[in-house]
Structure 1
Amino acid sequence: MARTLSYMKAINEALAQEMDRDPSVVVFGEDVAGGAGTSQPMDAWGGVFGLTKGLWEKFPDRVLDTPISESAIMGAAAGAAVSGLRPVAELMFIDFLGVCFDQIFNQAAKFRYMFGGKTRTPMVVRTCYGAGAGAAAQHSQTLYNIFTNIPGLKVVVPSSPYDAKGLLTAAIRDDDPVIFCEHKALYGVRGEVPTELYEVPLGQANVVREGTDVTVVALGQMVPRAQRAAEALQGEGVGVEVVDPRTTSPLDEATILASVTRTGRCVVVDEGYPRCGMGTDLVSLVATRGPRLRAPIGLVTPPHTPVPFAHVLEEAYLPGPDEIAAAVRTTLEPVDA
């Protein structure tokens, strides 16, 4: 049975249901309990966005506050994972990856390889990313491409409440380290979510909208923006197919290339930086392994600048439906022979 739930509540529900199902699942990070169990219960916020609120009351021995040390959090998660637990560790903002990157890419990502496949590292790193919430340059970056670059890591980028719950369930059950990237501007978005536990398989893209003229590949917050662009273009007689990869590693190349083969045109939309980003990687995939296209591939990204703090500048920084629609129209223009 499905009902309407927010993106944030869907993640909270996945955590609660998996912790109830599997006693080896533990949650820890900065303020994930937030003072719960002390003389000041009103301080139990459940993390910076209140996302883990309510979990401590259900699982008081398995929701653990940590010191303000990202290196300690990720190191502890890696150690717990190879010791038989399934930790879900919170990296409060993806921007803080520089503080603890060694523990993730040089340790957790390498364990299975370094030990000849004899060990598992069932570790999930939940982190939030993205612009649009007025969080300024140090708390608004889109950096999932950095994790995607590392062999041994799986990277998840859900764009809807349904996917958020199903993908997190799959991530917790996975035996490899998974970086679970939550867009903070999507936390309040609502959608239909089943009450029961379910998995959305990692590495399986979603054709969000079918179309015949142009394929738009988008991630995270860019998916609903691409859908709005597609709705506008439908009024002009243009059929846009929107593909959401859902995970950047593993990447469902087959679904993306099959869509581009059907439409013959492609636009990639990525909130990450334009240089060496996920957008450029997807463009490379289509250019090198896709069919001969009817038009050059379009790429829509923010400018190569830090994320502005001022609301007007932040809105100008982010690709919107108008920019996506303009890129689609460009692919429809006649190409000189």
Structure 2
Amino acid sequence: MARQRYIQAINQVLLDEMERDRNIVLFGEDVELAIFGDTREVFNRFGPERVYNTPICETALTGMAVGAAAAGRRVILHLMFGNFIYTGMDAIAHQMAKLRMMTGGQMNLPITVIAGYGGGRSLAAQHSDTPYPVLMNIGGVNVATPATPADAKGLLTTAIRGNNPTFFLEASGRGGDSGEVPDGEYLVPFGKAAVHREGHDVTICAIGTMVRPALRAAQELEGMGVSAEVIDPRTLVPFDEAGIAASVTRTGRLVVVDEAKDRCSAASYIAGLMADTCFYALRAPIKRVTVPNVSMPYATNAEAAIFPNSAKIVAAALAITNDDHKRFA
């Protein structure tokens, strides 16, 4: 097991999987230039017959992905930014998500869509969204949000080898994060959460980019006498309801940390699900730490003001672990 940066782990998977399976094609905006670093050397190794730079037209790109997959190719589509999912939504929502069902399972669509998501880098409103709530709602597509280099490797490998469309959402601004990555072939199953830190007073369910501030918050809470468990769903579709519920049942309290906007967020879905599943185990109200229902600003200080961070997570956890909520026990 060696240490790799997050973006290196993704790049290595692309190189390894395209070497393993000559039926894989990769296309997208500036994939040859590898602006994010995740497609570095892919064009040089596999050439223009399998790697295609495309015009900036996501409507065409998502339609191409569906057509190529329906014709028998295994497709990797790089959309660069999560916001561009919106401009490619027609083929995503009406074709990619529905054709397997509409053909009675006769059509496989082995498509992996890669896109960076989230704020924190002053990329302004049109390049900083967290669009997975939209994808969760359309049905028929998997949604993976890896937080660590190891999960990036394992989830991307699973996505590429699968026969259903998957959105692999890269944690923007985390490409330089490093961590231990298993050697050789490594797959992470969809729908299986990961516990990053065990605790018994409160569960912090952190999605993707929010795992890092959640772990910092857990460390701060430990100094205050509060034991926090940090759990990462890793995939939002399919979702590990049983794994999250087991943690909440143990601790009796839940804080959900989500970089999406609060209204109709993944946090809202998880909170509702756990309120239903774990009602009698809850000792306090469920708290959400999310982004307000506004577009992400460009100014660094304005962006930081609305962005979830460890201080907000600590405050939410303390609000439900104090004596005022013992009446819920």
Superposed pair shares fold, TM > 0.5: yes
Shift of 1:85: 1.1
Residues 144 and 166 in structure 2, CA contact (< 8 A), matched pair in contact too:
yes
Residue 94 to residue 192, structure 1, CA distance change in 2 (3 Å): same
Shift of 1:169: 0.2
Supply the RMSD in Å over aligned alpha carbons. 1.1
| CA distance in structure 2 between the partners assigned to 1:136 and 1:243 by the alignment | 29
Within 5 Å, give how 1:113-128 maps onto structure 2.
113-128=101-116
Give SS of 2:180's match.
strand
Shift of 1:294: 0.6
Shift of 1:24: 1.1
Percent pairwise identity: 46
Deviations 1:68-97 (A, max 9, x none): 211111111111111111110011211122
Shift of 1:266: 0.6
Question: Corresponding residue for 1:17?
Answer: 16
Residues 191 and 237 in structure 2, CA contact (< 8 A), matched pair in contact too:
yes
Give SS of 2:259's match.
coil
1:288 aligns with 2:276: yes
Please point out which of 255, 258, 265 is paired with 1:270: 258
| CA distance in structure 2 between the partners assigned to 1:311 and 1:56 by the alignment | 35
Within 5 Å, give how 1:111-260 maps onto structure 2.
111-260=99-248
1:52 aligns with 2:42: no
Count of aligned pairs: 324
| CA distance in structure 2 between the partners assigned to 1:201 and 1:208 by the alignment | 16
Shift of 1:336: 7.0
Shift of 1:98: 2.1
Shift of 1:267: 0.6
Question: Corresponding residue for 1:28?
Answer: 27
Question: Corresponding residue for 2:304?
Answer: 315
| CA distance in structure 2 between the partners assigned to 1:161 and 1:50 by the alignment | 14
The letter for the 1-side match of 2:46 is F
The letter for the 2-side match of 1:325 is V
Unaligned runs of 5+ in 1: 34-44
Unaligned runs of 5+ in 2: none
Shift of 1:289: 1.4
Deviations 1:118-173 (A, max 9, x none): 11000011011100111011100111110011111100001011100110000001
Residues 283 and 326 in structure 2, CA contact (< 8 A), matched pair in contact too:
no
The TM-score with structure 2 as length reference comes to 0.96
| CA distance in structure 2 between the partners assigned to 1:129 and 1:185 by the alignment | 9
The letter for the 1-side match of 2:229 is E
| CA distance in structure 2 between the partners assigned to 1:141 and 1:212 by the alignment | 33
The TM-score with structure 1 as length reference comes to 0.94
Q: Would you identify which runs of 4 or more consecutive aligned residues in structure 1 move more than 6 Å?
A: none
Give SS of 1:271's match.
strand
| CA distance in structure 1 between the partners assigned to 2:215 and 2:201 by the alignment | 14
Shift of 1:315: 1.4
Shift of 1:231: 0.6
Residues 130 and 271 in structure 1, CA contact (< 8 A), matched pair in contact too:
yes
The letter for the 1-side match of 2:161 is R
Question: Corresponding residue for 1:331?
Answer: 320
Question: Corresponding residue for 1:42?
Answer: none
The letter for the 2-side match of 1:15 is L
Question: Corresponding residue for 1:41?
Answer: none
Give SS of 1:257's match.
helix
Give SS of 1:322's match.
helix
Shift of 1:208: 1.0
Deviations 1:215-272 (A, max 9, x none): 0101011111100000111112211011100000000000000000001111111110
Give SS of 2:123's match.
coil
